[in-house]
Every structure is written in C-alpha cells, then in structure tokens.
Structure 1
C-alpha cells in the first residue's frame, strides 16, 4: 500500500557542500528519498573544463566518495537517492556507482537520465545543456531504481520526479506538481532553508544548521522540517527567504509546470515545521531553457594597496602611470575599482588602507599577462609612497561567459535509461502556455504617517539575493502586516535604485508577493556576462541583499 506521505530530504546544495550531510540525513531520522543538488551555472563550466582534459570526466566526483561510506546504510534503510551529480556525463557516473556497489558487494539498481546535452548544436560552446523536468527521474523510480543519476535538470525536478513516481501524478496535475516545485525549491540549497545564510541568523542555530526535509502529500502540499536535534531552525522566515532566492515574479516557470508563487501559503505548524499549501500551477512554457557556457577569454588582475593619507591622489597616480602600458597593449576590457576600506586615524595598518583593483580581459592570455606582469610590477620603486600589491599578477586565467537560450520541448530527447538498460523516452508536455505578465496585485493601505527614525532597512526586513546569468534578484520580506504596509509603498523601483547605485542605469523590475509579505527585484545586467566572468566584486550577487539591508531609510518608529 502506498504511503500517504513521502519524506524527501536534501544532502547537498552545491558542489562542495558538507561532505558528511549524506550520512547525517541517513542516520538522523526517517526519510524515503534523499536528493543531492551539485549543479550551478559555474559548476557546469568547471565540469566542462574537467572533461576537456579527460573525456570520461564531467561529473561530481565527491558524490562517489560520499556514497562509498553510505551506500550500505542507504540500502539497509531502503532510502532512494536522486542526484544531478552526473553533470555533463551522467552515464559515466552511473557506471561508476555500479562499479562501487559491485566492489562493496551491495545490490543496488542504478538508472540515469540523459538528453540534456546539446553542446554539439552550439559551435564554440564548452557546455550547452537543457534544463529537463522530473518525469525522466519518475520513470526510473517507477521501474525500481534505487539510485537515479541525472545531468542538467531543474533543481526542483529532483523533488517533482520522486513525488510524481510515488503519487502517480501525470504531466497535467499542475497544482500538485507546482506544490512539489515549491517544496523542491525550498530544499534545493540545503541548509539555506534551515537557518544558513539567513538575514536574522542570530535567532537560532546558525553554527551548524541541519539539512532540510519535506513531508510531501498527494495533494501537493508539504511540511518543511529537519531531523530532530539538528542545528538551525525552520520557520516562516527561513522558508520565505529560500522561496525568494533566485526567483523573480509571481510565475516560477519550469519544464514540468509553472508554479504561482503568489498563491503560496506558509503556516508555522509547530517548532521547526512550516506547512506549504494553496500552491496553484499552470501549464509549463512551450520552450526549455538551455544554459550555454563558453570561454570568454583570459583575465588578469592586480590589487594595489593604498595606505594613509591622500588615497584619491595615490589612486590617480597609479592610473596615470599605467595609462601608457594599457594604451600600448590595448586589452579588450579594462576596469578600475577603488574600494575605500580605509579609516581615519586607524589603529591598524590594514584598516588604514584602501584597495585599488585593476582587472584586464582579452582573448589573448599573453596580452593580459604582459600588461600587468611587467607594467604593474615595474612601479614597485617608482610610484606612490608605501607602494605594495596584494599579490604579484600572474599570467592570466581563462574565464567563462554564460547565456541562456530556449528551444521547443520536442527538440530535446529526454530519455530515462533504466537499471536494466532499457531506454524509455519521456514525452514532452502536451499542454503548454506562453507566460504572460501577472498584473501587480492591489497594495495594502499605507501605514498612517507618524514620527520616523533614520535606520538600516535590515532592522525591519530580511533579504536574500542571487544570480541568474548576468542578472541578479533581491528578495525582501518583512514579518508583520504593518511592516508590509510600509514596505510595499516605500521600497519602489526608484527607491531601490537610490539605495543600490549600481542599478541606477539598469533595468529593474519589482514583483509584489503579498502572501509572503515580500518584494522581489530583478536587476538585469548587473553581473555582466555571468558569474564565471567575475565582472563584479561579488560576482554571484550573494551579498547584494545584505548591502540593501544595510542602507538607511526613514523608518516609522512604530515599527522599530
């Protein structure tokens, strides 16, 4: 008889996450399926470079090392494992897992999902992969797989697949699938749902938060929790923060369904238990996202340390001295950033110093190495007083650029390769819908006027931010209805641009999510050509939300 609840946990949110998490999740409490997310846009580039040197590579090798210590335990407890650790080479990882199981003498059935690799269609690409949905995973599980390895699927597919297999959902069960997508999005980044990277981290357990667990139900609702006794916390705030992470508007589109984030209802059901229900789903869009990673060229940098007085004049001198070398070499891109980390009358030399960062980019490695390797170093005894650099410039290193394109579902051969070698084609969805803009919902009545205090936004609001290609999103939420009445009217696009000067000349879109008491801002182009291009001090915009929280506004005293 099929269980009415499916317990799905997470043991990895990125390539390099806590190594012991898989064992912790297997031993910490009851669980039916464990999911491991290893893939980010940058990870795909890293794996592509691995595969250049070794065609048999291209997957997350740490997963195999984790499994060596835990495969017997998972088999003994009947816990299935679903992971996208296959990266660019899921078939090779599946074979490696079989070999490991044979060596350990553990009988496990291993299946994998393929069809996402479209690299051959894009000349010059190091990796081009479509974001597949969860029904290939579901097919593998329905046929008895104990471990399912995938390549590039959506992060939420690691949960929609097991849920569809367990509950018998079909591709037209949009509301149920949307509920699983939301639960999957909460789980995908591991401890970010249990107090990790949380704006109000002082409220509990940030030292070593446990990994999250979703109790999924047949109607698509779920409860987000964690194993008893583990660190961190699960409350409406931590779940809200993760829901806003790397999303944008009311529609969260994916290959299985489009989840309506404006319908999500969160309820604190008890300590470390948050219920998610009310989620509505719509047909998925007619096209699949394809992430393309290319080599952008070569990058080199040098950071000059400027100490004490006349920081601006010292920076101007360096820039003038470097002008001739840059004009002669003519790298394709040159950027200067002066970071004023210095303090007046400082107690330490470090806090008396500012950093002047010069970055050059060009298709030629020789060019970026020459312009900094010679010209910058030759200033050592002939520039501003106190001259030194953080580190000598190197020869220049390759950097990647990311872009996304879209292809019809039917252009991708989505295949489940079962544990016995049979190949099952996963049909594209029959019903799709072009995404329309969702009208902005009605705002609450403004808070009555009263005395205000100039204070940081973060005293009142939480935030979480992240990257999507060259864009960044910043989700901002508050925890009371009165605070929401103020935030919804105060934090407009214009105010956001004032608080984040980098966004002043960029397209910024504000999305309103009243049920979450949240605003989500999409800032286009702030990350240039994506994280791998390292075009910004914080190339993944991870701390953009914390910068916003540190900015001062006139906040009603009644809220403080």
Structure 2
C-alpha cells in the first residue's frame, strides 16, 4: 500500500506537493468504456422509493440494476407473511415495480439482480414469469436458493426459529448471469453480493481473486443502502445543495475491483468522499469485514475525489473468507404493548412515580417484562404546553397476548381521572402485537446447499470456498502523534466530526470520522472507549469495542446489547440506532480552538 500523503483536502483528494501549493491535482487515468461495468441500485430496504426503479432505468446508461429489500426486521415480516400464505415470503412491492419497468429494462439491456426473493425466491421467480407473460414479454429468469435452513434448524443446532437463513455469496448470482439470465432473484445473500456477482461474471474473476472481490464488496456495501451514499442521512446535510430527492447511487466497477461511485446526471443529492465514507461506516464491525466469498480489509480502503459526484474507491485488499456462514435467525419472542403518559409542568419525577405505582398495582396480571422510560423533554418556564411536557412510556412484554392486550392498556386509561394532575395519554387502548427476536447463528459453509437455478431450470450446485481463514481481530495500528497541548473550547463533537450509526441484531455501531489530518490527530486520542461511556450514559455499563481505521480517519465503536434483542424487540426510543451517531455528535467536548472555526461548528 502506498505511503500515506502528508495532507489531504477535506474532500479527501490525494494531494501532491504541487497541489498543496495551489496547482491543479493530476487528472485521473481514464478507464476505457468497455472495461467498466455500471451497476446501479434502486432500493435500500423493503419500503424504499417506489419510483426509483424507473428513475434509474431512464436516468442514464446502466448494465445492471440491483435492489436490496432485506434486513433483519424484513425477514421477520416475510416470515409472518409466509405463515399466513405459503406462496408468499417475498417482497411484493418489487413485483409491482417490475410490472411497470420490466419492458423498459429489457429494451435497454439492463439486467436486474435482487434479493427480493426473501424466503421464497422460487415463488418470486415464477411470479416474474407470470408478469412477463401477461405483458407479452420474453424474459429469462433465474434464481438462487439454498439459504433457507429452517427445515434443518434443529439438526444444525439453530433451535426452533421462525426463519433461519444463511448469508450466501455471489457465485450463484454469477452462474445465473453467465447462463444469460435477464433477472436474477435471490433469497438471503449478503447485500454486497448483488454487486459482486455481476462483477465476477463480467470480468471473469476466480474464487481466489480476493483483492478484486474485496473491492467489489466495498462498492456493493456503498450502494446497497441507496441514497445514503448520495447525501441521505448525512451528518453535514446542510452542505448538500439538492437533497429534496437524492438520486440513487451507481458503482462503475473496473477489472481490478476498483470502482467509481457516482449517480445519474441531473439527479438530486451529491456524491463526495464524505458521503461515501458515511456509508462505508454503516453497520460494520472491525477492520475485517467478513463475507462468504472474501474477507474485506476495510483498513485498506482508499477514497479519492475524481470530480463532481465521482469518488474512486481503490487499494482494497481481501483475504480468504471464514469457514462458517452467518445465519439470520428470527424467533417470535412473545407479545408487546405500550402506553405513553404525558406529564406536564411541575413535579415531573413525582408524577412519573405515581403513574408507575398506580398502573403496576392495578394490573390484573403482571407481564413478564414491564419497562418504564421517562423522557425529560420538558423545560422550565416553557412558552408552550408541549415544551412543558415529558413522556413516560411503559412497554409490556409477555408470552401470553391476553396479559399485554386490552387488560393492560385499559388499565392505563382507567387512571386518567384519578392519577397525577393533567393526566393524559398519547393513544387509546389497543391490543398487543407479536414481536420478534433476532440472533445470529453460524454453520459450516459445506452444510448450506447453495444452488443456482438457471433460466432453463438446470440446477447448478455452488461449492463453498475452498480456501478459508478463521476471522481474527486486526491489531490496533500505530497512532499519529497527539496534538501539542494548547487552548481548547467546549463545543459539540459534531462541530468537526461526522458520524453514521446503525444496528446489527442487539448491537449498535457508531462510525466517527474527520476531514483533516490535524483533526484526526486529536480525535484518535480524544475519543476513547471511556470517553464514549461518558458521552453516552445509556452505554456506560455495556461492552464497547473501538476499531481504528486511519486510512479513512475514522473510528468505529461497537456497543453490545444496546438494542436488546434486535429491532423488533424495540428496546429503546431509537430501536435501530439510526440517531445514535447524531446524539454523540451533539455532546460537548473540549476541542482544540485551532480546529474550530475553519470547518463545521454548531451551537
């Protein structure tokens, strides 16, 4: 890997000595058009912008269009769909999108690769054929299966879940595309596999081309969450001139696995080094990003601005994948209900204690879990009633739906005229609802029957990786020298730092990064695990691991157990930790005054 440059601009462009002095940076070496595979994305989750498929097909040239519809919570939703109707279990919105856009994709020669098959990829493949037949279109549909381990869950030591799906890799997709498929449907594959598969098929990569595969994994990780790569959910969002309707991202893959992230001309949003870095930091763990085909070294990723809305990803290295595949397990945990009391004015704590004591003493049956949260949103001498009010939330969970049903919520409402002054609630009484619990399992890759079902119905088994390597943590790299002592000022961390956070089961991650080498010298020494515990009291007693990614001037913190048993468990106000990074950025720390005033500073 090349030596680290002495300084970079805030956009991350590698600067030569002449460029630092004000000269123009050297032009990027062009890549012949035939050596670029343009892969776009039109969905980052089940429920994303419905019009995005048409927008991507009409906005400019593409070779492949991908759509990511699956998440941990989505698998639970699809599992419940399948319980009601065995023919379902796939993303139904994808079918409606294809009804409008299949002819357009065929006309433009754009292949579609999607994990919308969910728990029933064969069923979705058949539904696509029906859509094509109704429209008088000839389409070659293939699908990938084998991820569904539910029938063998007990045998594989996975318990008795509602869903059990192994994360497959890219080679089944590649096999389908090589066989001429126009549309490839998968179940639970890794999100990045939707990009890696087309790239491997197009460029003829082998199973041991780890660096190229790792480069494609990074490109796939960047575009799989849609507009999060083009300014959506971006910490410095006020810098994005046109965020009204951001365009979806495109990865221009090259034969060596490097890529350029961009978007269609004229679409909203922006693509910069920071918007790409933001997505890179989303829902990751350590410097090794494990997958079924390759383990990607995130500490090798290099980002370079190539021009407006163009960011080069290069230098990515890969290693052999681990011998076991991760399995997404969703289990019905029981039933939940919640009621929220509004507490206004004086004596908020005493009012909360009274409401809690009354409700718990009046419940006909105590739920297995009763969780109280007081959100002090009130302020003294408030100029509106809303600003004078706090929220007291009570969440009840129990295996018996009757215990957390109307008996629970009716009891809360019955307190209205005999409790604290001003007693009111945010909702009427209602029934409880089932909730899920997500856990991750692991099985030997050889136990998973990864299979490509080609357009002609042929079934091609996909062998597991021949070369594997047990996953291990990367030793913390050498840190830069800290800044010399000097004056500081109390300011929000977000005055200079960006962040992106997300969920992985019950764990949360927060990626934090800065734009200049001087800021990095401060951040890497100031933002320790102990400091995060102080800044985020909710995490103070939980295990926290810090990972250092100097090439991105970034730190990633993994907080274990913050989200309870996953998003469906709904353990906290922000069950997917989407705002956790913004909370951290809002906390005040002592920042060297020399780092303030030239970048971002907010009150």
What corresponds to 2:98 in structure 1? 67
Q: Paired residue for 1:401?
A: 437
**Are the counterparts in 2 of residues 300 and 393 from structure 1 also a CA contact under 8 Å?**
no
How many aligned residue pairs are there? 559
User: What is the aligned partner in structure 1 of residue 290 from structure 2?
Assistant: 253
- 1:301–1:393 Cα contact (<8 Å) kept: no
Correspondent of 1:308 among 327, 340, 345: 345
- Residue 571 of structure 2 corresponds to 535
Mapped partners of 2:367, 2:216: distance in 1: 48
| CA offsets 1:502-534 (integer angstroms, 9 cap, x no match) | 111110000000000000000001011000111
Specify the alignment match of 2:246 in structure 1: 209
Which residue number corresponds to residue 477 of structure 2?
Answer: 441
CA distance in 2, matches of 1:395, 1:274: 50
Aligned to 2:226, which of 190, 204, 209?
190
Q: Which of residues 167, 170, 174 is equivalent to 2:210?
A: 174
Residues 99, 2 of structure 1: alpha-carbon distance in 2 compared, 3 angstrom cutoff = farther
Which residue in 2 is equivalent to 1:322?
359
CA distance in 2, matches of 1:365, 1:3: 59
Shift of 1:440: 0.1
Matched residue, 1:337: 373
C-alpha distance in 2, partners of 1:147/1:92?
14
Partner secondary structure for residue 125 of structure 1: coil
SS state at 1:402 partner:
strand
Residue 481 of structure 1 and its aligned partner are, at CA, apart by: 0.6
1:17 counterpart residue number? 48
Please tell me whether the aligned partners of residues 406 and 430 of structure 2 are also in contact (alpha carbons under 8 angstroms).
no
Match of 1:469 among 505, 522, 530: 505
- SS of alignment partner, residue 143 of structure 2: strand
Give the conservation status (yes or no) of the 8 Å contact 1:2–1:166: no
How do 1:293-442 residues align onto structure 2 when only pairs under 5 Å count? 293-326=330-363, 329-369=365-405, 371-442=407-478
Q: Deviations over 1:176-218 (max 9, x none)?
A: 0000000000010000000000001011122211000011000
SS in 2 for 1:3: helix
CA distance in 2, matches of 1:374, 1:151: 42
Are 1:225 and 2:262 an aligned pair? yes
Q: Distance in 2 between matches of 1:325 and 1:112?
A: 55
- Structure 1 residue runs of 4+, over 6 Å off? none
Give the 5 Å matches for 1:504-523: 504-523=540-559
Number of the residue aligned with 1:26: 57
Q: Name the SS of the counterpart of 2:471 in structure 1.
A: coil
Residues 222 and 276 in structure 2, CA contact (< 8 A), matched pair in contact too: yes
Greater alpha carbon shift after TM alignment, 119-128 vs 188-197: 119-128
- 1:129–1:291: 8 Å Cα contact kept in structure 2? yes
Provide the rounded CA distance (Å) in 2 between the counterparts of 1:496 and 1:120. 43
CA contact (8 A) 2:176 2:453 kept: yes
Worse-matched range after superposition: 450-459 or 1-10: 1-10
1:457 counterpart = 2:488: no
Residue 386 of structure 1 aligns to a residue in which SS?
A: coil
- The within-5 A match list for 1:260-271 is 260-271=297-308
- TM-score normalised by L of structure 1: 0.99
Q: CA deviation at 1:416?
A: 0.3
Q: Per-residue CA shift, 1:265-310, capped at 9, x if unaligned? A: 0000111100000000000000000011010000011000001111
Q: 1:306·1:356 contact (CA, 8 Å) conserved in 2?
A: yes
The answer to whether the 8 A contact 2:338-2:409 is kept is no
Runs of 5+ unmatched residues, structure 2:
1-31, 154-158, 597-603
Counterpart CA distance in 2 for 1:404 and 1:461 is 32
- CA distance in 2: counterparts of 1:410 and 1:124, whole angstroms: 21
Query: In 2, are the aligned partners of 1:10 and 1:213 still within 8 Å (CA)?
Result: yes
CA distance in 2, matches of 1:85, 1:215: 23
Rounded to whole Å, the distance in 1 between the matches of 2:385 and 2:323 is 58
CA distance in 2, matches of 1:440, 1:42: 33
Query: SS at the partner of 2:434?
Result: strand
Q: Structure 2 length as normaliser, TM-score?
A: 0.92
Alignment-derived partner of residue 527 in structure 2: 491
SS in 2 for 1:502: helix
Structure 1 residue 126: Cα displacement: 1.1
Q: Which residue of 2 aligns with 1:158?
A: 194
**Other-structure match for 1:557:** 593
